Amino acid sequence: GENVEQHPSTLSVQEGDSAVIKCTYSDSASNYFPWYKQELGKGPQLIIDIRSNVGEKKDQRIAVTLNKTAKHFSLHITETQPEDSAVYFCAYVKGGSEKLVFGKGTKLTVNP
Amino acid sequence: DTAVSQTPKYLVTQMGNDKSIKCEQNLGHDTMYWYKQDSKKFLKIMFSYNNKELIINETVPNRFSPKSPDKAHLNLHINSLELGDSAVYFCASGSRYGYTFGSGTRLTVV
Q: Is the pLDDT of residue B1 over 80?
A: no
Most A CBs within 10 Å, among B99, B100, B106, to test the A interface: B99
Query: pLDDT confidence of B2, banded at 50, 70, 90?
Result: low
Nearest-CA distance from B30 to chain A in Å? 12
**Parallel/antiparallel/unpaired status of strands B31-37 and B43-50:** antiparallel
The pLDDT value given to residue A80: 98
Chain B neighbors of A41, CB-CB under 8 A: 103-104
The pLDDT value given to residue B13: 97
The residue of chain B nearest to residue A51, with distances taken between CA atoms, is B97
Let me know: does B74 contact B66? Beta carbons within 8 Å. yes
In sequence order, what are the residues at sequence separation of 6 or more whose Cβ sits closer than 8 angstroms to the Cβ of residue A58?
none
Chain A neighbors of B100, CB-CB under 8 A: 46
The pLDDT value given to residue A100: 87
Q: Which residues of chain A have pLDDT under 70?
A: 1-2
Under an 8 A CB cutoff, do B43 and A41 touch? no
The pLDDT value given to residue B19: 97
The pLDDT value given to residue A61: 97
Q: What is the pLDDT of residues B28-87, one digit of tens each?
A: 999 999 999 999 889 999 999 988 888 888 878 999 999 999 999 999 999 999 999 999
In A1-112 the beta strands, taken as DSSP E runs, fall at 4-7, 10-14, 19-25, 32-38, 45-51, 56-59, 62-67, 72-77, 86-93, 100-102, 106-111
Minimal Cβ distance to A99: which of B41, B45, B103: B45
Q: Report d(CA B24, CA B2) in Å as an integer.
A: 9
